[in-house]
Amino acid sequence: MKVAVLTGGGDCPGLNAVIRAVVRRATEHGFEMMGLRDGWKGLLEDNHFRLTRETTSGILHRGGTILGTSRVNPFKVENGLEKVKRAVERNGIHAIIAIGGEGTLSAATRMSQEGLRIVGVPKTIDNDLNGTDFTFGFDTAVTIATDAIDRLHSTAESHKRVIVCEVMGRHVGWIATYAGIAGGADVILVPEIPADLKKVAEHIQRRHASGRSFSIVVVAEGTRVKVFPDQDEQLITSGALDEAGRPRLGGVGSMVAHEIERRTGFETRVSVLGHIQRGGVPTAHDRVLATRYGVHACDMVARNEFGQMAALRGNDIVSVDLALATKELKRVPEEFFKVAQVFFG
């Protein structure tokens, strides 16, 4: 049996750990493994190579992905589905293990419904996939963001400034909420709740009036902001589109910082973490979780559990329906965010 593996969407700490685990488990099942280069593009362009224990040795701790990645969606390419099906048949591929987030696994869901044998592995630093308690990559991103917030505390206090830290999170605020709580942020702004900058400024003024000389504000890049009470919330973008045709986010941190300084008179700076959150070595937690996902995904292929995704439920790795897992995003629940709000002040 020949099994192909791909990594799609944004890169993520722990991807190589999954690939390594899949290949190791495949040896026990007697599978021949194929690595598809640059996500779904590897099938569209017939670009692949054989994966063995030798080619996946020593990659557990490495960030990024040895397969490369892209945001190419076959359903947005002319005759994309037909090209994928022909490539699968031409190369004698029995099954595909798709490692990715919302975009990659949504495409995997549709392909599964079209008859292709696919299993999914949930990868995203945003932790926004339904059906699983946690995605791998999230813990590493939160750890990096928390470390940055810790460092911003000392300089903010020394200079008596407000510092805005912009973190990733296009549609959801899991990174901002977790890192904000862990880092002791004074304000956390997330996509789930439009930000009223008038209220943010008033809150910071109250803090300073009570004797606190600095404040830390954490904002997710996809947070919609309201500058004036009679204005609709707006998403801040760079004006360009990304590879998937979505608006490229950027600038919300600067806007929030500008408005805070304008409204309060307090010197305000901004730090944008950006792709730092995606890079570098994965945490021990993500290495273990990614490894467990990879082993389970390979076992799913052996059990013919196609159209399913490996998922973490409690402390168990289980199989869940791909269609349900990608039906809607997993957003930060109101009751969880209220835990963070306890410390705003």
DSSP string, 181-196: HHHT-SEEE-TTS-EE
> Catalytic site residue 196?
no
DSSP string, 95-158: EEEEEESHHHHHHHHHHHHTT--EEEEEB-TT--BTT-S--BTHHHHHHHHHHHHHHHHHHHHH
270 carries a ligand binding annotation? no
125 carries a ligand binding annotation? yes
Q: Is 17 exposed, middle or buried (0-12, 13-18, 19+ CB in 10 A)?
A: buried
170 carries a ligand binding annotation? yes
Strand partners, 49: 35
168 carries a ligand binding annotation? yes
Rounded to whole angstroms, the Cα distance separating 304 from 293 reads 16
278 carries a ligand binding annotation? yes
212 carries a ligand binding annotation? no
Task: Sort strands 237-241 and 247-249 into parallel, antiparallel or unpaired.
Answer: antiparallel
146 carries a ligand binding annotation? no
Task: Sort strands 187-189 and 215-220 into parallel, antiparallel or unpaired.
Answer: parallel
Task: Sort strands 308-313 and 118-122 into parallel, antiparallel or unpaired.
Answer: parallel
Rounded to whole angstroms, the Cα distance separating 8 from 76 reads 15
221 carries a ligand binding annotation? yes
Active-site entry in 11, 46, 126, 299: 126
Backbone phi, then psi, for 234, in 5-degree steps?
-130, 145
72 carries a ligand binding annotation? yes
313 carries a ligand binding annotation? no
DSSP 92: T
248 carries a ligand binding annotation? no
232 carries a ligand binding annotation? no
117 carries a ligand binding annotation? no
Rounded to whole angstroms, the Cα distance separating 296 from 290 reads 10
Annotated binding site for Mg(2+): 102
Annotated binding site for ATP: 10, 71-72, 101-104
Annotated binding site: 10, 71-72, 101-104, 124-126, 161, 168-170, 221, 269, 275-278
Annotated binding site for substrate: 124-126, 161, 168-170, 221, 269, 275-278
Which residues are designated catalytic?
126
